[in-house]
A and B are shown apart, each in its own frame.
Chain A
Amino acid sequence: MPNGYWQKLLRVDLSTGARTVEPLAEADLRRFIGGAGLGAEILRRELPPKLPAFDSQNRLIFATGPFQGPAVPGGAKFSIVGISPLSGTFADTAAGASWGISLKEAGYDVLIVEGRSVHPVYLQIIDDTVEIRDARHLMGRDTVETVDAIHGETGDSRLSVACIGPAGERQVAIACVAVDKHSFGGRCGLGAVMGSKNLKAVAVRGTRKVPIADPERTRALIKRFQTEAHQAVLHNHFRENGTPGLCETAEGLGDMPIRYWDADVWPEGAKRLGAPNYTQVLQAKPLPCQYCPTGCHRRIQISEPSEYALAGPGPEYETLGMMGTNTLIDDPKAVAKANDIANRLGIDTISAGAMVGFAMQCWEKGWVTTRDTDGLELTWGNPAALIGLVDQIGRREGFGAFFAEGTLGAARRIHPDAADTVVHNKGLDYPAHDPRACISLAPTYVTGTRGACHFRGPCEDVEMGGFFLPEAGITQGTVRFFERANQSYVAVKCQDLGALTCSLVICMFMIDGSEFSLTSQAEIFNAITGWDWTVETLLEAGERAFTVQRLLNLRDGYGVETDVLPKKMRQVAKEGFRAGKSIPFEELMQDYYALRGWDASGAPTPATLARLGVTG
């Protein structure tokens, strides 16, 4: 019976050139749905523990779910899964544009790339034709030039292209995967894994429509949800302002990183960087992914000053936080320029901003001088330092090469005391949300299966009133700032939601900002698959996916001893909304482990595994 899946997996071994199509069992799809959930289970089955990220055995799993067939709002997403060079364990990253839809149209649910090519190649997939093409001439090209070159030489501008830039080629540990020039699988360095395989790009196009269970109902639901979501984002200004609209609220509530997490308030900076100022100064317009009613990405244009001139995707909230307030730079044009360089070279803008903030802190402490930086003055608030260092990191050149293995790697080279100041979990730099403000982020970050991540558990937006999950009993007032009650429950449910979202695969901003509720998502899921799932079943699948990811973390050496806060998160603010407040971390973790059904070592108990139908 049609269910929105081809039940087909395409496997390409770059060592041998073998290309095979394998069946995907419906039983696996009914347990893991797709995307990052299914990808984690594949990693668990196929890889040994503690595999180095750049080992040729490492997999790059490009995985879709049931939402990439019909035009589901927010469904233009896909997951990339593998072992991260930053953490040495499970990682997933999601991107948008049109790539996931194109893979589905080519007739596959999942692409697995393994092995290593002897020279640079790219994959071209058009329906049944899967070619491994020479990419030697593409080496050194940035993520925009690569797409243009592939479109040019194939004469096929309808190919959706996921590629790496120079950073991925040089295996910079924060290298991202760029999709169609404007969407980025940013976190965890899977672009470096692509580079280690000598894989420059995967270009895909298809001509098929995957059969679904109830096409008529699916069409009607899509129409309804598109309209509802579009109206919602017009009313709440999300379409008008995109994610930069968050800056002032986040700063006002103590959530935004300032001076590499050492300062507490900077309202003027947040106001200058955020929308509506951002929208006006950068002439920002919505830049939607395919089928998106929201259009949160920004297309910007800067004509002067000439050194910042550019036209293309603009920085998101996360980048404004990490490259802006985090470095005390309040010029949106300077941040936009650094963002553009990072995008083109192909590095994660969150980690890149963290690295610049960390480097500025090291400069201030005297741990780094112009002798190390070839004259680059890494002073707070210096746009030239931001732009110069981002460029060096992306090219793995000069002082930027210190950061090739991540912020922790750089810290170990810079000063004996520096590693203690790095703000990370599992080697992944914190994103632009502060757990000292939204304390449910504390258990979320330390147990984050890909490292510190707000987007695999967006509980900070629940705390700040952005969205709720009434189906799981989470409504306005379920948590209050700085109070322990229900915080770990919200963390757990948001993590399960995050894992579910990355399995379906759907954009998190459908539920978080566009009012496309989980109940509505369940309706459309059932219309596509023909399965009779409830919201509870969906969330349980999210919990199962999260648990399998946790099992990967555990076998790779993580556990209770690494479920800890970085030192800076113990610092208490002197001013602003979180002045005098500290995270009740031990209590939150006690609640969290109990809610998860984990033992004292941080492992799921046999009863928990049995409940979820997962083998230990």
Chain B
Amino acid sequence: MRVKVKLLSVFATHAREDAEGLTAVPEGATVRTLAESLGLPLDLVRIITVNGQQVGLEEPLSEGDTVYVFPPAFGGG
């Protein structure tokens, strides 16, 4: 299946999209599976949303989901 993955700021270099801007993941994949396959540093993955809802790393993914993986937000000063 394919999902839309949005990686911001320092995570952007981990993006692996096809021509349609989608990322292929195996059936039954979770956010963790996806993050590991993209080589994201899991200790820096703190906030994840799927279709606008805050979720955890073990959230299962479905075809067409939109996944945001945010880098940690310090430095708000």
**Which A residues lie at the B interface, using CB under 8 A?**
235-238, 240-243, 245-250, 252-253, 255, 271, 274-276, 296, 316-318, 432-433, 454-455, 458, 460-461, 464-467, 476, 480-481, 508-509, 512-513, 577, 579
Indicate which residue in A236, A432, A455, A464 contacts B47 across the interface (CB closer than 8 Å).
A464
A577 close to B73 (CB less than 8 A): no
Q: With the chains together, A467 CA to B47 CA distance in Å?
A: 12
Give B66 Cβ to nearest chain A Cβ, in Å: 11
Which residues of the partner chain A approach B77 to less than 8 Å between Cβ atoms?
243, 296, 316-318, 454-455, 458, 508-509, 512
B76 close to A246 (CB less than 8 A): yes
Which residues of the partner chain B approach A465 to less than 8 Å between Cβ atoms?
46-47, 70, 72-73
Given contacts A241-B10, A461-B74, A467-B72, 18 further A-B contacts (CB under 8 A): A237-B10, A245-B75, A246-B76, A250-B73, A250-B76, A252-B68, A253-B70, A253-B73, A455-B76, A460-B73, A461-B75, A464-B73, A465-B46, A465-B73, A466-B76, A476-B46, A481-B54, A509-B74
A458 close to B76 (CB less than 8 A): yes
Indicate the member of B44, B52, B76 with the most A CB atoms within 10 Å.
Answer: B76
B76 close to A253 (CB less than 8 A): no
Give B67 Cβ to nearest chain A Cβ, in Å: 12
Residue of B nearest to A270 (CB): B8
Residue of A nearest to B8 (CB): A248
Which residues of the partner chain A approach B46 to less than 8 Å between Cβ atoms?
464-466, 476
Instruction: Jot down 18 A-B pairs with beta carbons below 8 A, ordered by A.
Output: A236-B44, A236-B72, A236-B74, A237-B71, A240-B10, A241-B9, A246-B73, A249-B9, A249-B47, A250-B73, A252-B68, A274-B9, A275-B9, A276-B10, A318-B76, A465-B46, A466-B76, A509-B75
Q: With the chains together, A255 CA to B73 CA distance in Å?
A: 11
B76 close to A317 (CB less than 8 A): yes
Q: With the chains together, A142 CA to B56 CA distance in Å?
A: 50
Which residues of the partner chain A approach B76 to less than 8 Å between Cβ atoms?
243, 246, 250, 317-318, 432-433, 454-455, 458, 460-461, 464, 466, 512
Which residues of the partner chain B approach A238 to less than 8 Å between Cβ atoms?
74-75
Which residues of the partner chain B approach A241 to less than 8 Å between Cβ atoms?
9-10
Give B37 Cβ to nearest chain A Cβ, in Å: 21
Q: Is B49 an interface residue when CB atoms closer than 8 A count as contact?
A: yes
User: Which B residues, 27 to 67, have Cβ-Cβ distances below 8 Å to chain A?
Assistant: 41, 44, 46-47, 49, 52, 54
Q: With the chains together, A579 CA to B52 CA distance in Å?
A: 9
Residue of A nearest to B52 (CB): A577
Residue of B nearest to A242 (CB): B75
Which residues of the partner chain B approach A476 to less than 8 Å between Cβ atoms?
46
Give A321 Cβ to nearest chain B Cβ, in Å: 9
A512 close to B75 (CB less than 8 A): yes
Q: With the chains together, A499 CA to B74 CA distance in Å?
A: 18
Q: Chain B, interface size: which category?
A: 20 to 34
B44 close to A461 (CB less than 8 A): no
Residue of A nearest to B46 (CB): A465
Which residues of the partner chain A approach B70 to less than 8 Å between Cβ atoms?
249, 252-253, 464-465
Q: With the chains together, A253 CA to B77 CA distance in Å?
A: 17
Indicate which residue in A235, A247, A274, A467 contacts B74 across the interface (CB closer than 8 Å).
A467
Which residues of the partner chain A approach B52 to less than 8 Å between Cβ atoms?
577, 579
Indicate the member of A238, A246, A454 with the most B CB atoms within 10 Å.
Answer: A246
Indicate which residue in B41, B44, B49, B74 contacts A577 across the interface (CB closer than 8 Å).
B49
Indicate the member of A276, A464, A579 with the most B CB atoms within 10 Å.
Answer: A464
Residue of A nearest to B49 (CB): A577
Give A400 Cβ to nearest chain B Cβ, in Å: 26
Give B17 Cβ to nearest chain A Cβ, in Å: 16
Q: With the chains together, A318 CA to B77 CA distance in Å?
A: 6
Give A277 Cβ to nearest chain B Cβ, in Å: 10
Query: Quick one: given A317-B77, A508-B77, are A466 and B72 in contact (CB under 8 Å)?
Result: yes
Q: With the chains together, A460 CA to B49 CA distance in Å?
A: 17
Residue of B nearest to A243 (CB): B75
Query: Quick one: given A236-B44, A242-B75, are A252 and B8 in contact (CB under 8 Å)?
Result: yes
Which residues of the partner chain A approach B74 to less than 8 Å between Cβ atoms?
236, 238, 246, 461, 466-467, 509, 512-513
Q: With the chains together, A432 CA to B73 CA distance in Å?
A: 13
Q: With the chains together, A275 CA to B70 CA distance in Å?
A: 14
Q: With the chains together, A464 CA to B73 CA distance in Å?
A: 5
B73 close to A480 (CB less than 8 A): no
Which residues of the partner chain B approach A455 to less than 8 Å between Cβ atoms?
76-77
Which residues of the partner chain B approach A271 to less than 8 Å between Cβ atoms?
8
Indicate the member of B12, B75, B77 with the most A CB atoms within 10 Å.
Answer: B75
Give A458 Cβ to nearest chain B Cβ, in Å: 6
A249 close to B71 (CB less than 8 A): yes
Which residues of the partner chain B approach A508 to less than 8 Å between Cβ atoms?
77
A245 close to B54 (CB less than 8 A): no
Q: With the chains together, A513 CA to B54 CA distance in Å?
A: 22
Q: With the chains together, A316 CA to B75 CA distance in Å?
A: 9
Which residues of the partner chain B approach A466 to less than 8 Å between Cβ atoms?
46, 72-76
Q: With the chains together, A432 CA to B75 CA distance in Å?
A: 12
Residue of B nearest to A468 (CB): B46
